[in-house]
Structure formats: structure tokens, C-alpha cells
């Protein structure tokens, strides 16, 4: 569906999106633990991109609090905003991350928005995984 270019700067990592074929509106966006976009089975149901595992959380906070909170998953990224034509050509900032955090992990885009909370639904309520891309080791 496109590319996400990563650039380190003094304020964190810039993520420059060039995406298409997504549903319009905001979408949850996370950095996930494993560099694998294959399906997995959870509760006897197939999960697209389930092999990517959960959000990157090296401090085991177990909390989804958004990209600017210092006490939640490190893999919480800013929501992606997609225009009416299904495209996103935007630049987003991940202020708590460095490039090395992305290497060997996966970006996951969710069907719905993200409220940066585990309430009323886990992981911001973004729902199904609709896109996934592996970030190379180098």
C-alpha cells in the first residue's frame, strides 16, 4: 500500500508516509514487536498480521497511553490520517523513539482510530489490523 520513510532528528523519529488504498479517516498506528506480517491464530480465529505480536513494550508497561506518554507502550505511534481518496502523505513524529527501536520490528495500521487509552477498549479501540510492513534490520 506504500511506504513509510523513517528519519532520526533531534525530537525523535519522523515517519513520512506515502500510503494509498486505506479507508478514509484516522487509523491506529503502532510499532509491533516482531518483524513478521503473517497471520496468526488467537482464540481459534485467524488474525491478520498476528505474527507481528503485540505493541513494542520493552519496559513491560502493559499500558496503551499514546505516543507522548512516558508510562505506556513505547510502540504507541500517532494516529495516521487518511484523506477521502484513501491516501496519506503526511509526516508524523514519534518523540520517544530512536531509529534503532524500529529496526527488526513491524508497523501495523488498524482499521479504526486510536483514543490513546485502554478504555473503553484495549489498544485504543483501533480494531482489526488492516496493513503491516516489516522494518528491515538495517
Q: Dump pLDDT digits (tens) for 15-38.
A: 999 999 999 999 999 999 999 999
Beta bridge partners of 31: 107
Could you tell me the end-to-end alpha-carbon distance of the chain, in angstroms, rounded to an integer? Answer: 21
Rounded Cα distance, 11 and 7, in Å = 11
pLDDT at 33: 97
- List per-block mean pLDDT (blocks of 10 residues) for the chain, which spans 138 residues: 96 97 96 97 90 96 94 95 96 97 97 93 90 93
Q: Using alpha carbons only, what angle is made at residue 66 by residues 135 and 75, rounded to the nearest 5 degrees?
A: 25
Contacts of 91 (CB under 8 A, 6+ apart): 14, 15, 16, 17
Rounded Cα distance, 54 and 108, in Å = 10
pLDDT at 124: 87
Closest CA to 91 of 22, 11, 5: 5
pLDDT at 48: 94
β pairing state of 12-19 and 2-9: antiparallel
pLDDT at 55: 95
Rounded Cα distance, 128 and 47, in Å = 8
pLDDT at 45: 87
**CA 50 to each of CA 34, 70, 85, 99: distance values in angstroms, whole numbers, following the listed order:** 10, 26, 27, 23
Is the Cα dihedral 54, 56, 60, 62 positive or negative?
Answer: negative
> Do 116 and 66 contact (CB within 8 A), yes or no?
yes
Amino acid at each position: 500500500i506504500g511506504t513509510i520513510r523513517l528519519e532520526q532528528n533531534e525530537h525523535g523519529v519522523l515517519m513520512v508516509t506515502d500510503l494509498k488504498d486505506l479507508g478514509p479517516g484516522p487509523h491506529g498506528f503502532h510499532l509491533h514487536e516482531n518483524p513478521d506480517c503473517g497471520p496468526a491464530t488467537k482464540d481459534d480465529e485467524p488474525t491478520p498480521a498476528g505474527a507481528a505480536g503485540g505493541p513494542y513494550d520493552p519496559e513491560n508497561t502493559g499500558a496503551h497511553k499514546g505516543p507522548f506518554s512516558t508510562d505506556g507502550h513505547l510502540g504507541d505511534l500517532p494516529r495516521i490520517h487518511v484523506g477521502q481518496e484513501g491516501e496519506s502523505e503526511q509526516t508524523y513524529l514519534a518523540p520517544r523513539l530512536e531509529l534503532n527501536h524500529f529496526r527488526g520490528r513491524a508497523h501495523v495500521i488498524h482499521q479504526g482510530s486510536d483514543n490513546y487509552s485502554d478504555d473503553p477498549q484495549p489498544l485504543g479501540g483501533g480494531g482489526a489490523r488492516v496493513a503491516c510492513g516489516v522494518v528491515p534490520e538495517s
